[in-house]
Amino acid sequence: MTQSPATRLVLEDGRIAGVEVREGDRAQQIKGDCGIFLGTGGYECNPEFVRAYQSFPNSAPHHPPTQTGDGLVMAGELGAFIRNIPTSLSSMVGYWIPRPGSEPEFHSAGIQELAYPHSIVVNSEGKRFGNEAFFQEFVVKLREFDVVKKHRYANIPFFLLFDSRFRERYPFANIPPERPLPAWIKRAESLAGLAQELGIDAQQLQQTVAKFNDNASAGLDPEFGRGQSLWIRKVGDSKHPINPNLGPLSKAPFYGVELTPTESSSAGLYTDIHGRVMHLRGHAIANLYAGGTVRVRTEYGAGYQAGLTLLGGMTFGRIAVEHALLGNKKPS
């Protein structure tokens, strides 16, 4: 019933007995003898939940538009414990692509867009602040908060800059090198001109790029170690001389776009070891289970590793369903 959204959980005699779904203009209840399993995903496309639970209140979504936190709403109104682990650091970066006559589309910046030579990322002060090529390390720098002077994140807003050598060799926004870049991508014949277009400190940017270029020409990044990791080097340009991740920004015109963080859900339903959703008062909600992204990830804490979300969904989903079946098995 893929076109019938679930709207609420049905509570009978203190236990979850089923779920109510909407079919057009009418509601229908579906009962579950062994319990109800919530696998409704995250809330990345729900602005209110993003503001409430995420580190970056204006985080852009890189998930399907149906990820609106339905499971948190349905279980939460029955007293479910919603727990947040903000240090999960499941973040990436990307940029908005304008679409005439429609809403802009968010494009998650690919690993190569940040790891290829002849590119850098700077903040509005025109300073680099991390190893652009290794996003797991880079996004941590976005959480640095300037409490005293700015009272905001120190490195937001931030920008991806690249030169014509980058453009001649690599795709950008899925546009191959042989095709012209659209007008929404800022460009200028000088770094100072590009800084003015993007709202970056021009003098500091020129100093940053000059220092970066001197080191990049030798394949070095003494500040942040870009291109030193074997893994990072494999996702760069293997044909580029000296360092597959480093190259100076020296050939005009220069290009740039503003980047924005994009996060995966860090909050979710708190469950016990059997996958049962816990109530705020500390007991399991009878017959209610959860798995996947709607369930808060407590088993591996901070950090991000590709595949752990899928692994957790499969493992703890199986544990929950087995418990539901065995715990509610009727005697023969």
Long-range contacts of 125-128 (CB under 8 A, 24+ apart): 125/200, 125/201, 125/204, 126/195, 126/200, 126/201, 126/202, 126/203, 126/204, 126/205, 126/206, 126/207, 126/208, 127/204, 127/208, 128/208, 128/212, 128/223, 128/224
Assigned CATH class of 94-262: alpha beta
Type of residue found at 192: A
CB 147 within 8 A of CB 188: no
For CATH 3.90.700.10, the residue range(s) in the chain are 94-262
The type of residue at 118 is H
What does each of the 332 residues of the chain score in pLDDT, given as a tens digit?
888 999 999 999 999 999 999 998 899 999 988 899 999 999 999 999 999 998 887 788 888 889 999 999 999 999 999 999 866 567 889 999 999 888 899 998 877 899 999 999 999 999 999 999 987 788 889 888 888 888 888 999 999 999 999 999 999 999 999 999 999 999 999 999 999 999 999 999 999 999 999 999 999 999 999 998 888 888 899 999 899 999 999 999 999 999 999 888 889 999 999 999 999 999 999 999 999 999 998 876 666 667 778 888 899 999 999 999 987 655 44
The pLDDT assigned to 331 comes to 47
Look at residue 301 in the predicted model and tell me its pLDDT. 61
As annotated, the residues of the chain forming the CATH 3.50.50.60 domain(s) are 6-89+264-327
The three-point CA angle 223-228-233 to 5° equals 130
Residues 6+ apart with CB under 8 A from 110: none
Alpha-carbon gap, residue 265 to 96, rounded angstroms: 20
Q: What is the pLDDT of residue 45?
A: 92
User: Under the phi-then-psi rule, with left for phi > 0, alpha for psi from -120 to 50, and beta for the rest, what region is 124?
Assistant: alpha
Q: Which fold has domain 6-89+264-327?
A: FAD/NAD(P)-binding domain (3.50.50)
